[in-house]
A = this chain, B = another copy of it.
Amino acid sequence: MSLIVQKFGGTSVADREHVFNVAEIITKTYAKGNSVVAVVSAQGDTTDDLLEKAREINADPSKREMDVLLTAGEQMSASLLAMAIEKLGYPVVSLLGWQAGFVTSSDYGKARIKRVEPERIQKELDKKHIVILAGFQGINKYDDVTTLGRGGSDTSAVAVAVAMKADLCQIYTDVDGVYTADPRKVKHARKLDVISYDEMLELASLGAQVLNNRSVEIAKEYGVELEVLSSMTKKPGTIVKEAGKVEKLFISGVAKDEDVARISIIGVPDRPGLAFKVFSRISAKNINVDIILQSVGRNGTKDISFTVARSNLKDALETIDSFLPSIGATKLVYDENVAKISIVGAGMETHPGTATKMFEALYEKDINIKMISTSEIKISVLIDIKDADKAVSAIHDKFFPAD
């Protein structure tokens, strides 16, 4: 007998039919003799509807009150799912964040789970109840309700799996697993049976947003095995686990990230400390810098280029503008029409020539590389955004030739 945590997103419980589909997945798992804790998001568009209701009244409400409003969404879906399970004749109880012991930090709207106090959930499991948890929510030290931010229900699921020492944490979503590339864009994309936490994290951070990153980080830290699968197809999905337990794939996936912009500071005097000055000021504004490239310029100067998320571009430019004269640089330029294409694979380091093979694929399609960055399990290139989809297909077909 195992303890299985199952998480269902908003699409999976959007209406009556979907709610019963999920209720069947849960009760079938329970009927096999497992203990089941199911974490559920708000139904379909509920969260957006509530945001709109709030906006009509106050365009800038306090985050505290917004959390009180939004947590009602998961409260409704959790109780409705429990009612569906009652209808199927199984013992069930729904629990809200504060009832289930989800203690979080106090940052309303983006709280972090500090711990899950497992007593109440354990008590219900001991009574042979199926436990339905309202995801995305918790309680802070002031006894106020908090939300975990976007993708928070994934984190709820993994956190409860950690606290209850679950044997498996299944994340049901609208795709049936993790693919070697976006299957809507790349014809020969293959579903992976298994992937390591680190590869999953790299893929997620590259825009292949199947799992919330924070939830993968927690799963990795505590060694909780995840499975990404579809609530509709009822086929096995992709298992995410420790690298040591995963056969090292040469390449696990090709991903595209279009939320990226390049900034170049031209004519920086070639003096020590200036790069530090630039990046410390930018990070002080909470802006993440990704690929960095420093090139030799003319007349004893250098050019510093780097990428940021497109949403941070304006902030980053303003910040740099404010100290540009003080470092003696001559010009600030930027480019929004770029995309980052990456290959990820835990086996990469033991296969020389991986980068060459990637660059060859791009060369064959006449695609120009603007920047390059590499890590142990990832190679990223910055290219023109108009070439992005073509580049993903070319690279994917090079590493995963059609059978």
Contact = CB atoms under 8 A, between A and B. Distances in A.
A86 B62 contact: yes
Q: Interface majority SS on A: helix, strand, loop or mixed?
A: helix
A54 B75 contact: no
A291 interface: no
Given A65-B86, A72-B72, A86-B58, A80 B53 contact: yes
Interface residues of A, number: 37
A116 to B, nearest CB: 16
Max chain B C-beta neighbours (<10 A), residue from A20, A65, A143, A145: A65
Contacts of A20: 57
Interface stretch (A91-99, A189-197, A300-308, A336-344): A91-99
A76 B56 contact: no
B68 A84 contact: no
Contact of A57 (B75, B87, B120): B87
A401 interface: no
A53 B80 CA distance: 8
Max chain B C-beta neighbours (<10 A), residue from A16, A19, A96: A96
A213 interface: no
A83 B57 contact: yes
A71 interface: yes
Given A56-B16, A120-B143, A76 B72 contact: yes
A347 to B, nearest CB: 47
Given A16-B56, A57-B80, A64-B93, 8 more contacts: A54-B80, A54-B83, A58-B86, A58-B87, A65-B83, A68-B78, A68-B79, A99-B144
4 A-B pairs with the lowest CB-CB distances in the bound complex, closest first: A68-B79, A69-B79, A61-B83, A72-B72
